[in-house]
Structures are given as structure tokens and as C-alpha cells.
Chain A
Amino acid sequence: MSNLSHAEAAAVFNKDEARVDWHDETLWFVRSKRDRAAQSIPEWEGLREAASQIKNHVLSNMHDLLTQFEQKAIANGIMVHWAADAAEHNAIIRQILADNKVNQLVKSKSMLTEECHLNEYLKEHGVDVIDSDLGERIVQMRGEAPSHIVLPAIHLKRGDVGDTFHKHLGTDAGATDPQYLTEAARQHLRDTFLTRKVALTGVNFAIAETGGFVVCTNEGNADMGVHLADVHIACMGFEKVIPRAEHLGVFLRLLARSATGQPITTFSSHFHKPRKGQQMHLVIVDNGRSRQLGRADFRNSLKCIRCAACFNTCPVYRRSGGHSYHTAIAGPIGSILAPNLDMRQNVDLPFASTLCGSCSNVCPVKIDIHEQLYKWRQVLMQEGHGPTAKTLAMKTMASVLESPRLYRMAGKVGRGVLRFAPVVAENGLNPWYTHREMPEPPAESFRDWYINNKQ
């Protein structure tokens, strides 16, 4: 991940204007598909409300639901592991691989493993990891992180993918046909699926009542991986648990429609028991979630079902690209999750928003995303994570506003400067000017006008 702040990285992303426009329009197209899918269901708002309430219940009953889920899962023959943080999660997976004397792993999409930096960790320990979701495979070959949780390679054009596949898969130089490129990846990954002994998946929903879990994909890559492997490892943040199977009716109706405008993902696979001779492991991860659960203003972020509707609608995400967020989960939801993991490192993210509220309006589980962005700003400044220049500027402004004499003088100087020497304010040294036009200065202040016109 880069060390640039969101604004700095976005400035780099914005250098290629044609590509930014394409990125913006493509994601808006996905958002429009979501709208059409939502509008085709008369009870859409009722579904959102039901999903929100089910998740509110889950947050309030988390302890009992998890213990019930664990008990049922164990009875089903699933081996359950608990990881307090990313390091423990990674170590558990490495141990399972070692126990099975395997140093190769095929993975389907799991944002949790991105959050835990599992791939880097396993690579350091000599394990060969292959991501099998097409978008993830593309970015993995390029040594990049996914820029979007549902569309991992949305920042790339077909020419980029053609070049990458030419280099790594030997496709024809200059080939850009998506059909041809996808076929090349299909052949390459088929061989991977057939030869890997251990397959890892994420978890979309875990059912407390039955001790099973659901994994959704369009490509079928999660199924291809695990049904051909001797060992299935599934990794979940603990907030993925839901009370009963019938609640899936609500979530599966919302998830794909919110994500891509599809009526449902191609495969919604329900795992309850390993197949004969197979091992099934489930790793339940905390990694800061229990802390977030205790923050009344921010716990609702744990209701997220990772559809990315808030990404696609966000005017800032669409124009700054996922990598500008320097965190596994980008976009508005990532910006309210990341400060919980590390306030100092992610202090810029709650500011990467216009607070327009579109994210909250499309969220299928009704998370108050834009309100949490605003609240994080207060918390981060109070905790002293504000950038020095901003803190100084705010302090200066406070003393000017406190003193009528200073205030009058500052107004006079400001009007004079903007009128006679605008270059003093309109230059690259003024961070305010970077993103904004300076105002037309009025001829006199309201106070002067009032004194002159009183009679």
C-alpha cells in the first residue's frame, strides 16, 4: 500500500483524465443497473428495513449467535478456529497447510484475507498462493491490490489485462478481446483447481441455527476450488453470522441486486458438512471487530454485507479510484471501517467524502455511512490525529474569531489581497485553493456597509 494520503493519491489518479472519466462512467453504469434491479422489486424498501433489523439484532445478540453457530458447525464436522487478530488468522492457515504438508493454495475472493495480508504472509513462508477470481488473478499478476471489493480490476482497461496476460499466460501480444482473455484465464485456472489440495474461500453468511455457511460467486471459482480440494478453509469476520436460514431470503434478494444489478449471483453455495474424506476448517476472526462493536456511533458499520453499492454511487470513489484509499476495503464503507483498525494511518479517509449521503441511501442494510464519516472526523480531530497545518489554521481562525479587532483587520487584509494581489492566495502554496476557487471579494464588509447606511 502506498504512503500517499487519499487526496495525494487521487491527484495522481486524476492525471489521466480520460481514464478517470471512464472509471466514473463505468461505475455509474453499475449503479444504474442496481437501481433498475431495486425498482423491479416492489418490496425493496421493506427488504432493506428487514435486513437492517436482522443485522441490528445480530449485533445485539452476537455472543449467543456465535456460540450457537460454533456448536452446530462442530456437530456438522467442521473444525472451528478463532483468531483474535490478523497475525493469528494467518498463523492458523499456515498451520493447516503445514499439517497437510502442502505449500500451495488456491483462493476465491475473501476481503478478510486482504485485510489480514494473508497472501504476503504466506509468500514469505514459502507458500504459493493463486487467487482464482478473474479480477483478483489479474491484479495479483500485476502485484497490485484489488481496487474494489466486488470488481477488483475495475481500475484497468482491457489493454492492461492483455499486456498482463501476454506476460504471464503467453496470450497473443496486443490481444484485448475479453472473451479470448477470459478463456486463457479459464484454461490456466482449471489446471490450478485440479492440482491444489487446499482451497480457501471467504464467507458471505454463516447460519447460527444450522452451523453452515454461504459463499456467493458468479464465476463458480469458489466451488471449483473447494470441491476439488482435500481441505477447505473458510475465513469469516464474526459479524457474518445470521440467526436462521430463512433470513437468507432477505439477504440473497438484496446482495447481488445491490452489487451489480443481477437478480442473484450465479452460485449461492451452502456448506454444512465436508464431503467424504475432506477436511473443512472455519476461521472466525475478530481483528478489531469487537472493539468496533463497543463504539455506539460506529458499530453499525459491522452490518455491512460487502455489496459495494456505496462505492459505485460515491462521487469521490468514482473519481479517485480504489487504490487511493490505501486500505483493503476502499470506498465509503472502508472509510468508516479503517479508522477502527488504525486511526493515525487512516485519518484521511473519513475526509474523502462530500457527505452527500448517497452511500447511506443505497446501502441494503441501512448503515448510516455518511453520518459515521462525519462523526469519525470529530473523533479523529479530538484524539489529536489532525494534520499540523490544519490544526494550526483552525487555532489561528479561532483566535481571529474571538477578537472583534483582529476579525475586522483580517477581513480588510483579506479583501485587499484578493482584489489587488490575488496571486498571494491563488497559488499552489495555499492548500485551500488546490480544490476550490477563491471567492469574489466584496467592496466592503457588512459592518462597514451597515455603519455607512444606518441613516
Chain B
Amino acid sequence: MTSRDTILAAIRANQPDRLPLPEQFTFETTYPDLAAQFAEVLAFVGGQAVNVPDYAAIATYLRQTYADVLSIGTTIPELADVADLDLTLITVPHDLVGLNLAIIGGQLGVAENAAIWVDEQHIPSHFRAMPMITQYLAIIIREVDLVSNMHEAYRRIDVAATGFGTFISGPSKTADIEQSLVIGAHGARGLTVFILKE
């Protein structure tokens, strides 16, 4: 017998009688103002939310905030003018290493934990590393795509729609040295989330 068959046979012999799945495993947390809740939690996890009426406002904000920064790349056509890096020329993820600011879209944001779902509809497959390898990250979500909690988020997304997807909540961080929080462990050192009103 292969190890697979041995293991599965032992499991079949040893597993207890079938128990049902719980009837209730989703809960309705509600927040009066999803955008305000999202922004508060995002600040708690080290990021920053900015409410904007349109893409022009995002462009203005980014030009002011990252005035002297080069190597800006975006996957969002509306913001192509803000970027100086032509991502179509990059074919291997390692070439993203010089990226100072990545601007990408997200499918939805979760108010309870400031997590944003990003999958290969927002970043191409060979750019899976983009949200982590960049020095700074900006994600754009629409206000209508904010949900209360993770149960609602999983109802809206299809985790297997693409080969890879991730919930991102705040910039990368560590507290592995004496429990002192340091922002910017291996991934982005800062995260700005634009909440688009339109």
C-alpha cells in the first residue's frame, strides 16, 4: 500500500461517527457607518483610509503625497498618469523589486477588520508579489463594496475564481523583537486605502 492508502485507511478506521456541521456559523455584525468603522480599524492596524469622490481626487492626493517618488506602478487604467513605471514591460516578478509605490484595486473591504480582498482580477498572476514587494501600497475600493464582516465577504467572493487571492489588512508588520511593533517587516511599509464614493 502507498502511504496515501495507509493513511486514509487508518483515518477511516479511527474517525468517530459522523457529526453534523453546525446550523449556524454566520453572524450579523452591523455597523451604522461601514466606511467609518473600516477607517477606524485600518488606523488601528497601521494603515490610513482616505475618502475620495473620484479618480481625479486620488491622482491629486498621490501626486502631493509621493511628489518626489519614482518607480510608481499601477494596474488601474484611470491612474496611469500617476505612474512612471510601465508594468507591461515587466515579465518576471523579481523585476518589481524596485517598486516604490504600487497602486491596485480591491474587490471589497471588510469593516470589522479592514481586510481587502485582492485576487488575480486586480493583479495579474505573475504580479502576485506586487502588494508585498512594493515599498508602499495604495488600494482603491468602492464604498458600495464595503461589507460588515467576514461571513458577508465570503458570500461575495469566489476564492477559487482565480489561482490566488489574499485579504490584506494594513501594512506588513512584526512584533518579534520584544513585542515592539515595527511597521514594514518584509512587505509594504505603508498602506493607503482610497474609498471611492461614486
Binding site for B on A (CB under 8 A): 26, 29-30, 41-43, 46-47, 49-50, 53-54, 56-57, 59-63, 66-67, 76, 82-84, 88, 132-135, 138, 151-154, 156-158, 161, 178-179, 181-183, 186, 189-190, 193-194, 207, 210-212, 218-221, 223-224, 227-228, 238, 243, 245-250, 252-253, 260, 262-276, 284, 286, 290-291, 293-294, 296, 299
**Contact present for B113 and A186 (CB under 8 Å):** no
**Once bound together, how far apart are the Cα atoms of A216 and B18, in whole Å?**
29
Binding site for A on B (CB under 8 A): 2-4, 6-8, 10-22, 24-27, 29, 41, 44-45, 93-94, 97, 110, 112-115, 119, 125-126, 128-129, 131-133, 149-151, 153-155, 159-160, 162-180, 182, 184-188
**Once bound together, how far apart are the Cα atoms of A153 and B175, in whole Å?**
10
**Contact present for B22 and A266 (CB under 8 Å):** no
Please name the residue on chain B nearest to A51 by beta carbon.
B25
**Contact present for B179 and A82 (CB under 8 Å):** no
**Once bound together, how far apart are the Cα atoms of A29 and B175, in whole Å?**
13
**Once bound together, how far apart are the Cα atoms of A291 and B10, in whole Å?**
8
Nearest CB of B to A163, in Å:
12
Residues of A within 8 A of B186 (CB): 132, 186, 189-190, 193, 219-221, 224
Please name the residue on chain A nearest to B18 by beta carbon.
A60
Please name the residue on chain B nearest to A49 by beta carbon.
B22
Nearest CB of A to B35, in Å:
16
**Once bound together, how far apart are the Cα atoms of A294 and B11, in whole Å?**
8
**Contact present for B26 and A224 (CB under 8 Å):** no
**Once bound together, how far apart are the Cα atoms of A238 and B8, in whole Å?**
10
**Contact present for B187 and A267 (CB under 8 Å):** yes
**Contact present for B153 and A249 (CB under 8 Å):** yes
Residues of A within 8 A of B125 (CB): 275-276
Option from B132, B162, B164, B179 in Cβ contact (under 8 Å) with A26 = B179
Please name the residue on chain A nearest to B160 by beta carbon.
A210
Nearest CB of A to B128, in Å:
4
Nearest CB of B to A345, in Å:
22
Residues of B within 8 A of A67 (CB): 8
Nearest CB of B to A81, in Å:
8
**Contact present for B176 and A264 (CB under 8 Å):** no
Residues of A within 8 A of B129 (CB): 223-224, 227-228
**Contact present for B174 and A182 (CB under 8 Å):** yes
**Contact present for B177 and A54 (CB under 8 Å):** no
**Contact present for B177 and A134 (CB under 8 Å):** yes
Option from B11, B119, B167, B185 in Cβ contact (under 8 Å) with A238 = B11
Residues of A within 8 A of B151 (CB): 246, 249-250
**Contact present for B15 and A178 (CB under 8 Å):** no
**Contact present for B185 and A182 (CB under 8 Å):** yes
**Contact present for A42 and B16 (CB under 8 Å):** no
Given contacts A194-B97, A220-B172, A264-B167, whether A57 and B182 have CB atoms under 8 Å apart is no
**Contact present for A182 and B182 (CB under 8 Å):** yes
List 8 A-B pairs, Cβ < 8 Å.
A49-B22, A60-B19, A82-B3, A178-B178, A223-B128, A246-B26, A286-B3, A290-B11
Option from B29, B97, B163 in Cβ contact (under 8 Å) with A43 = B29
Residues of B within 8 A of A227 (CB): 93, 128-129, 132-133
Nearest CB of B to A312, in Å:
11
**Contact present for B160 and A266 (CB under 8 Å):** no
**Once bound together, how far apart are the Cα atoms of A95 and B181, in whole Å?**
39
Residues of B within 8 A of A153 (CB): 176-177
Residues of B within 8 A of A132 (CB): 186
**Contact present for B13 and A218 (CB under 8 Å):** no
Option from B16, B94, B150 in Cβ contact (under 8 Å) with A253 = B150
Given contacts A26-B179, A270-B165, A275-B164, whether A47 and B159 have CB atoms under 8 Å apart is no
Residues of B within 8 A of A133 (CB): 176
Please name the residue on chain B nearest to A246 by beta carbon.
B154
Residues of B within 8 A of A284 (CB): 7
Nearest CB of B to A114, in Å:
16
Residues of A within 8 A of B112 (CB): 41, 253, 263
**Once bound together, how far apart are the Cα atoms of A299 and B16, in whole Å?**
9
**Contact present for A157 and B7 (CB under 8 Å):** no
**Contact present for A272 and B159 (CB under 8 Å):** yes
**Once bound together, how far apart are the Cα atoms of A59 and B155, in whole Å?**
25
Please name the residue on chain B nearest to A295 by beta carbon.
B14
Residues of A within 8 A of B18 (CB): 57, 60-61
Please name the residue on chain A nearest to B44 by beta carbon.
A263
Option from A60, A210, A224, A238 in Cβ contact (under 8 Å) with B16 = A60
Residues of B within 8 A of A42 (CB): 29
**Once bound together, how far apart are the Cα atoms of A26 and B176, in whole Å?**
12
Option from B4, B29, B41, B172 in Cβ contact (under 8 Å) with A266 = B172
**Once bound together, how far apart are the Cα atoms of A134 and B176, in whole Å?**
6
**Once bound together, how far apart are the Cα atoms of A207 and B165, in whole Å?**
14
Residues of A within 8 A of B172 (CB): 218-220, 266-267
Residues of A within 8 A of B179 (CB): 26, 29-30, 151, 154
Given contacts A53-B22, A249-B26, A262-B45, whether A59 and B15 have CB atoms under 8 Å apart is yes
Given contacts A43-B27, A60-B17, A293-B15, whether A263 and B113 have CB atoms under 8 Å apart is yes
Nearest CB of B to A105, in Å:
17
**Once bound together, how far apart are the Cα atoms of A212 and B151, in whole Å?**
18
Given contacts A193-B186, A224-B186, A272-B159, whether A161 and B177 have CB atoms under 8 Å apart is yes
**Once bound together, how far apart are the Cα atoms of A220 and B176, in whole Å?**
14
Option from B16, B17, B166 in Cβ contact (under 8 Å) with A270 = B166
**Contact present for B115 and A264 (CB under 8 Å):** yes
Nearest CB of A to B34, in Å:
15
**Contact present for B187 and A220 (CB under 8 Å):** yes
**Contact present for A272 and B176 (CB under 8 Å):** no
**Contact present for B6 and A84 (CB under 8 Å):** yes
Sample of 20 further A-B pairs with CB below 8 A, known A182-B185, A220-B187, A271-B164: A30-B179, A50-B24, A76-B163, A82-B4, A84-B7, A156-B178, A157-B178, A186-B186, A219-B186, A224-B129, A224-B132, A224-B133, A227-B129, A263-B41, A267-B166, A267-B187, A270-B119, A271-B163, A273-B162, A293-B14
